[in-house]
Amino acid sequence: MIKIENLTKKFGKTVSLDAVSINFNRGDAVALMGANGAGKTTLIRLIMGYYHPTSGSVEINGLNPVKERVDILQSVSFVPQLPPPIKLSLAELISYICKSSGVKKEMIFEYAKEMKLDIIPNLNKSFFQLSGGMKQKFLIAVSLAKESDIMIYDEPTANLDPKARDDFYRLIKEKEKDKLSLFVTHRIEEVQDIVNRQIYMDLGKITTDEAC
Amino acid sequence: MKNLLLIAYLDLKESIRANWFIIYSIVFGGLIALFFIAGITESQVMGFSGLSRLLLMYIQVTIIILPIFVLITTVRSISGDRDSHILEYMLSFPISLSQYYWGKVAGRFITVFIPVFMAMAFAIIYGTFKGAEVPWEIFFLYTGLLFAMSSAFLGIAFFVSSLVKSSEMALGISFFVWIFLLAFIDIALISLMMQNRMSEGLIISIALLNPMEIFRVSAISLFDPELTVMGPVAFYILDMMKQWQFVVLSIVYPTLLGILFAFFGYKVFAKKDLV
């Protein structure tokens, strides 16, 4: 599904990702780990097509994520580490998501309910005004409702209480079959029940890649 | 197209709720109200009276403050979304970069143009109600000038917004652009050129490349078709083109300038890292 070859990303003289080659396949549930500055987020951003590679290539289902971003993003769900301060109301944000991605509104409501988030009373509230946990639950509900083949989560449980984390792991376990899931995390113990592959990064390189 | 309109609509809704938009609308609406309260429509100075005088004063003030309002409110459009990671999330959905960028441009154009236009339209409606004669020719010219001015500075703002990484830097550049066009070209560049005995034609051409300068001249051209208040400079302008051609130029050139800057802004946006 994702084929990365000799991928390097430099910011000025700083090498953030150093000639990384790796493949991610359907059915992989990957924990991507490493210290701050190891290159995890850079790798994710290159996969998402946010960064132009300095050298090397990324292919998702044979497509270039920078040049063919619209086609690729139809099948990618992404939850960032920190919910962004979007000023749109939940109704407007849902409208943006549904119209741009063809996601069914009812599916977002359903997954939000599974995450113990009641969207209806908050529809006219700005996304920005919700609590950190509510925002994260909403983003997770959207990512699941999108029914993507590739799911990317950057520290998805950082703002969640233990109960909400359990809900998240339960839903992911149900959904991740025959899909590719990437979890950026600092704590393997949090995701060890839902991953089947662990990758450690350091100084822009992959140091270990093992099945678990 | 569907996604472009969606982005434009959402940007418009978000802007209308923002504090800056409320202040922006109050400033221009308040300006018109202030002119009526001050009795400008009832007084006469140098042959200008009634609504004509009010509209002239409105456009003179607007030429100074509209660019800085447009620049500081728009310049953070892309760079601010990038800073706050909004861009990272919003662009994780299948929206093309051109739809996102031009949708933002369209939404922001409506936001900046409507209040300045509505304030002027309100002046016309209120003036008519008070029995004043409506100077339609001036109204249409000023509508064109406001459109062109909004386009020019919106384009420049989007270019700067795409170019820089942080919104603070974008804000700093927008102040510089405003001061440069407002005063620096006139005071520094042209004064220096005059001191060095450069050709007057060259100096005037450089001055007219400045959209703010062209707006100033065009704003008075309907009252004073010979541009006598400008002194000898008028000869150069009116030797080069007829008065109506100058009016067309004053609307077409800044509009094209804005589109060109917005286009370069898009090129930069699409070529650079997004976050």
Higher-scoring residue by pLDDT: A105, B130: A105
Tokens of A145: 């409702």
The predicted pLDDT at position A149 comes to 94
Which of B92, B273, B275 to mutate: most A Cβ within 10 Å? B92
Name the residue of chain B whose CA is nearest to A70's CA.
Answer: B94
The residue length of chain A stands at 212
CA quadruple B203, B209, B215, B221: dihedral sign: positive
At residue B230, the pLDDT reads 65
pLDDT score for B223: 72
Q: Closest-CA residue in chain A for B6? A: A96
B197: left (phi over 0), alpha (psi -120 to 50) or beta: left
Interface test with B, best of A45, A63, A67, A100 (most B CBs within 10 A): A100
Query: What is the pairing mode between strands A29-34 and A150-154?
Result: unpaired
Beta strands A55-60 and A2-11: pairing type?
A: antiparallel
Count A/B contacts: CB-CB distance under 8 Å: 78
Chain B hits for A84, CB-CB cut-off 8 Å, are 84-86, 88-90
Q: Which residues of B125-162 are buried (b: 16+ CB within 10 A; e: fewer)?
A: ebbeeeebebbeebbebbbbbbbbbbbbbbbbbbbbbb
3-state secondary structure of A131: coil
Per-residue pLDDT at A56 exceeds 90: yes
Q: What is the DSSP string of A142-180?
A: HHHHTT-SEEEEESTTTT--HHHHHHHHHHHHHH-TTSE
The whole-angstrom distance between B233's CA and the closest CA on chain A is 49
List of chain A residues whose C-beta atoms are within 8 Å of the C-beta of residue B272: 52
- For residues B27 and A194, what is the distance between their CA atoms, to the nearest angstrom? 57
**Cβ-defined contact of A50 to B273 (cutoff 8 Å):** yes
Q: Are B107 and B15 in contact (CB under 8 A)?
A: yes
Partners of residue A100 in chain B, C-beta under 8 Å: 3, 6, 93-95
Contact A78 B97 (CB under 8 A): no
Global model pTM greater than 0.80: yes
Please name the member of A52, A70, A96 whose beta carbon is closest to the beta carbon of B273. A52
Predicted pLDDT of residue B229: 65
Phi and psi angles of residue B83, each rounded to the nearest 5 degrees, phi first: -55, -45
**Structural domain containing residue B18:** 2-271
Of B67, B72, B69, nearest to B149 by C-alpha is B67
Asked if A48's CB is within 8 angstroms of B94's CB, the reply is: no
Q: B interface mutation test: which of A44, A82, A87 has the most B CBs within 10 A? A: A87
Q: Is B99 left (phi over 0), alpha (psi -120 to 50) or beta?
A: alpha
Query: Is the predicted pLDDT of residue A8 greater than 90, yes or no?
Result: yes
Which pLDDT score, from 0 to 100, does residue B232 have?
Answer: 65
The domain in which residue A126 lies consists of 2-211
Per-residue pLDDT of chain B (275 residues; tens, 9 = 90+): 788 999 999 999 988 888 888 998 999 999 998 888 887 777 665 556 678 888 888 998 999 999 999 999 899 888 889 989 999 999 999 999 999 999 999 999 999 999 999 999 999 998 888 888 888 988 999 999 999 999 999 999 999 999 988 888 989 999 999 988 888 777 776 777 777 777 777 777 888 888 888 888 888 877 777 776 666 666 777 777 888 888 899 999 999 999 999 999 999 999 999 98
Return d(Cα A62, Cα A3) in angstroms, integer: 8
Give the nearest chain B residue to A46 (CA atoms).
B273
Phi, psi of B73 (to 5 degrees): -85, -30
Distance from CA of A60 to the nearest CA of B (A): 14
Residue with tokens 């050129």: B193
Question: How many domains in chain B?
Answer: 1
Q: How many CB atoms lie within 10 A of CB B214?
A: 24
Which CATH number characterizes residue A107's domain?
3.40.50.300
Contact flag A84-B84 (C-beta cutoff 8 Å): yes
Long-range contacts of B40-49 (CB under 8 A, 24+ apart): B41/B127, B41/B130, B41/B132, B47/B223, B48/B223
Residues in chain A with CB shorter than 8 Å from the CB of B89 are 78, 80, 83-84, 86, 139
Strand A76-79: give its sheet, edge to edge: A76-79, A150-154, A180-184, A29-34, A197-202, A205-211
* Measured CA distances, A171 to A109, A137, A159, B66, B90 (Å): 14, 12, 17, 52, 24
Four-residue CA torsion sign, B142, B144, B145, B149 = positive
Q: B82-114 burial, b if ≥16 CB within 10 A, otherwise e?
A: bbbbbbbbbbbbbbbbebbbbbbbbbbbebbbb
Q: In the Cβ-directed half-sphere of B200, how many Cα atoms lie within 13 Å?
A: 6
The segment with the largest mean pLDDT, out of A119-128, A175-184, B241-250, is: A119-128
Quick check: B89 and A80 CB within 8 A? yes
CA angle B180, B183, B189 (to 5 degrees): 75
Inter-chain residue contact B86 with A52, CB threshold 8 Å: no
Structure-token pair, residue A137: 């639950």
- The pLDDT, as a whole number, for residue B45 is 59
Contact B68, B178 (CB under 8 A): yes
pLDDT at A176: 76
What is the average pLDDT value for chain A, to the nearest integer? 93
Q: Which residues of B touch A (CB under 8 A)?
A: 2-3, 6, 10, 13-14, 17-18, 84-86, 88-97, 271-275
CA distance B273 to A46: 10
pLDDT at B76: 86
pLDDT band at A59; cut points 50, 70, 90: very high
Q: Is A41 exposed, middle or buried (0-12, 13-18, 19+ CB in 10 A)?
A: buried
Q: Are B21 and B107 in contact (CB under 8 A)?
A: no
Give the sign of the dihedral formed by CA A81, CA A84, CA A85, CA A90.
Answer: negative
Report d(CA A200, CA B1) in Å as an integer.
43
Torsion-angle region of residue B88: left (phi > 0), alpha (psi -120 to 50) or beta? alpha
In three-state secondary structure terms, A123 is: coil
**Nearest residue of chain A to residue B275 (CA atoms):** A50
Tokens 């430099």 map to which residue? A10
Residue A49: per-residue pLDDT: 95
A46 vs B199, higher pLDDT: A46
Structure tokens belonging to residue A180: 């590719």
Give the gyration radius of chain B's Cα atoms: 20
Contact B2 A99 (CB under 8 A): yes
Q: What is the DSSP string of B179-224?
A: HIIIIIIIIIIIHHHHHTT--HHHHHHHHHHSHHHHHHHHHHHTT-
Separation in Å, CA of A94 to nearest CA in chain B: 11
Instruction: With beta carbons less than 8 A apart as the criterion, state whether B8 and B103 touch.
Output: yes
